[in-house]
């Protein structure tokens, strides 16, 4: 079958579609959007959004880090659904850890404290300053792996506590600071201490 003659007089082969060319403002908008994207990614890298972990994930992290550090403490079982506060007994040194969660299972607070049923001399005072310091760090590191000894020292400095000296040697009292998205409280006397991390101000 023969092709029909071109009766329009238009040479379609010579009038090929030209690539779309952005104008000045189009290119400017593209550059601005690209820069905003780069700045946003950079901000996320240097200022990661802290997300509250679940209580179950916290328990897993605590036990894993304790095992890596050769510490005897273990939480083992995650809080059951609906349990607002679960107290774990860390019998090795007369300590206990209270893990609080909301209705959705997300962690809201931690309290590392002495067990009043265990005399200080038979419990937490048997810990060396380094061992007690490592227990504080374990409690926080299981929450957020970015915690380091340097950050822990800095935080306790703000609480007025020198982590290289026995806690019982410091002036008894209570201090509270806000740092790293947490509200930290430490109260102690010669027989007991109560260290809490409240997560209510942690970004969700």
Question: Per-residue pLDDT tens for 40-89?
Answer: 776 666 555 566 789 999 999 999 999 999 999 999 988 888 888 899 99
* Residue 19 DSSP label: P
DSSP letter string, 138-189: HHHHTT-TT--HHHHHHHHHHTT--TTS-GGGSPPEEEEEEETTEEEEEEE-
Beta strands across the sheet bearing 193-198: 85-90, 95-101, 107-114, 193-198, 182-188, 173-179
User: Does some domain include residue 39?
Assistant: no
Asked if the model's pLDDT at residue 111 lies above 90, the reply is: yes
User: Does some domain include residue 17?
Assistant: no
pLDDT tens-place string over residues 149-188 = 999 999 999 888 899 988 877 888 888 988 888 899 999 8
User: Does some domain include residue 101?
Assistant: yes
User: Does some domain include residue 25?
Assistant: no
Residue 21 has a pLDDT of 61
Domain count, the chain: 1
User: Does some domain include residue 50?
Assistant: no
Asked if the model's pLDDT at residue 143 lies above 80, the reply is: yes
Which domain does 118 fall in, by range?
A: 55-198
User: Does some domain include residue 181?
Assistant: yes
Nearest to 73 by CA among 134, 116, 21: 134
Please tell me the distance from the alpha carbon of residue 162 to that of residue 158, in angstroms, as a whole number: 10
User: Does some domain include residue 176?
Assistant: yes
Asked whether the whole model's pTM tops 0.85, one would answer no
User: Does some domain include residue 27?
Assistant: no
Please tell me the distance from the alpha carbon of residue 203 to that of residue 192, in angstroms, as a whole number: 31
């Amino acid at each position: 079958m023969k092709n029909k003659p071109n009766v329009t007089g238009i040479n379609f082969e010579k009038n090929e579609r030209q690539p779309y060319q952005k104008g000045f403002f189009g290119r400017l908008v593209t550059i601005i959007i690209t820069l905003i994207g780069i700045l946003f990614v950079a901000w996320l890298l240097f200022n990661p959004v802290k997300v509250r972990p679940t209580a179950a994930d916290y328990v897993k992290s605590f036990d894993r880090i304790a095992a890596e550090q050769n510490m005897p403490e273990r939480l083992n079982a995650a809080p059951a659904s609906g349990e607002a506060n679960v107290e774990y007994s860390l019998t090795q040194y007369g300590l206990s850890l209270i893990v609080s969660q909301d209705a959705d299972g997300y962690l809201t607070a931690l309290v590392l404290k002495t067990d009043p049923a265990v005399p200080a001399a038979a419990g937490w005072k048997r810990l060396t300053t380094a061992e007690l310091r490592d227990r504080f760090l374990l409690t926080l590191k299981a929450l957020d792996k970015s915690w380091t000894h340097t950050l822990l020292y800095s935080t306790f400095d703000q609480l007025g506590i020198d982590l290289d000296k026995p806690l019982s040697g410091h002036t008894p009292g209570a201090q509270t600071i806000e740092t790293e998205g947490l509200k930290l409280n430490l109260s102690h006397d010669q027989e007991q201490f109560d260290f809490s991390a409240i997560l209510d101000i942690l970004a969700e």
